[in-house]
Structure 1
Amino acid sequence: MTIKQSEQDKNGVFKAVIEDQEVGHLEYAWLGSKTLSINHTEVNPDFGGQGIGKKLVLAAIDWAREKNAKIKPLCTYAKAVIDKSAELQDILA
């Protein structure tokens, strides 16, 4: 599986791809120059239970850290992933 990130204007997406098929995505938006919101995370039900959603959230967190940005997790799934891990608390806006 590969994760591809793309962005247009203030909106972006991380896509999980297996053999040229998108199996999940995470949508985000910039709220300013240093804060982004994770708005939605979705995984194709046929690929559920493989940790794809969590990998998308972690990829977004790694990318935000590279950008010295903070995250506001509006997506309940992303919020749950972050809330369960003490080492991810620093990313919260």
Structure 2
Amino acid sequence: MTATINMDADNRRGAFEIVIDKKVVAKMTFVFAGPAKFIIDHTEVNPEYNGKGFGKILIQKAIGFAKDKNSKIIPLCPFAKAYFEKHPELNNVLVS
């Protein structure tokens, strides 16, 4: 099983996806909320891949993207919000 992580974005919205055998098995979507912040609005993992850490991988990609773009994250999706609540050391990437 080889997983590929893709990122696609335009000027308004984007997504991170984990693809296995040409099938999207996990996806996190976001919407830009200005030039230096974006809202994570949805995270979904195919049920057969639950418990494999794919949600965490997507969060880490979003954090890396925020740092690369000198942006901040607004975690509205319940998964992302819970993740950041469990990891207060990452608050520096969140909109304060």
Q: TM-score range by the shorter chain?
A: over 0.9
C-alpha distance in 2 between matches for 1:18 and 1:61 = 22
What is the total number of aligned residue pairs between the two structures?
Answer: 93
Amino acid corresponding to residue 39 of structure 1 in structure 2: D
C-alpha distance in 2 between matches for 1:8 and 1:89 = 26
Unaligned regions of 5+ residues in structure 1, if any? none
Runs of 4 or more, structure 1, over 4 Å off, are none
Determine the structure 2 residue equivalent to 1:31.
33
Per-residue CA deviation, residues 4-46 of structure 1 (Å, 9 max, x unaligned), is 0001231100001112211010000000000100000000001
SS of the equivalent of 2:52 reads coil
TM-score (norm 2): 0.92
C-alpha distance in 1 between matches for 2:58 and 2:79 = 11
Alignment of structure 1 residues 1-93 onto 2, 5 Å: 1-93=3-95
TM-score (norm 1): 0.95
Amino acid corresponding to residue 33 of structure 1 in structure 2: P
| CA RMSD, 1 decimal | 0.9
Unaligned regions of 5+ residues in structure 2, if any? none
SS of the equivalent of 1:2 reads strand
Per-residue CA deviation, residues 36-92 of structure 1 (Å, 9 max, x unaligned), is 000000000011110101111111111111000000001010011111113211111
Identity of counterpart residues, as a percentage? 40
